[in-house]
Amino acid sequence: MQAGHDGGPRDDGLGAADASGVGPTFARTVQAQPRSITNRSVVLFAAVAFAQLLDLLTFVPAVAKVGIEAESNPLARSLYMAGGPLGPALLKAAAVTVMLLVLLRVERRFPSFAVPSAALLVGIGLLGAGSNLLFGLLRQG
């Protein structure tokens, strides 16, 4: 009577465990192939970067016009007071880098969430730019 191949420790067939109890499916590692960047990803990343850059480019002249006291972000305000416009620019560059890396991760792990995530990041950038325009650059007086 011949036993079936069940992959157990006494099974000598395909999928059987070795003396350590580790089966061949666990013994070998599978190399994950990174997904290539799609055209959609490039558009999403460009839109996020553009909106965030627009926020930065409207921030500097708005602060020059109305003063740093109008800035509601205390970290950006203190960085500006400590190092001028370079402080908030470096903070924005770091934030945009993190945003793009997180978006890349979302694009690869959860592709269906990439567009909503990018839309949120674009919205945040455009809201900042709009705020800079409305309360800074277009402000009378």
> For residue range 18-45, what is the model confidence (pLDDT) as tens digits?
556 555 555 556 566 666 778 889 999 9
Asked if 66 and 72 touch (Cβ cutoff 8 Å), the reply is no
Q: Identify the pLDDT of residue 11.
A: 55
Element (H, E) at 133: none
pLDDT band for position 51 (cuts 50, 70, 90): very high
Domain positions in the chain: 1-31, 39-137
For 111, which DSSP code?
G
Residue 36 confidence (pLDDT) = 75
Inter-residue contact 109 to 34 (CB < 8 Å): no
What pLDDT, on a 0 to 100 scale, did the predictor assign at position 122? 98
Task: Indicate the average pLDDT of the chain.
Answer: 83
What is the mean pLDDT of the segment spanning 64-93?
A: 91
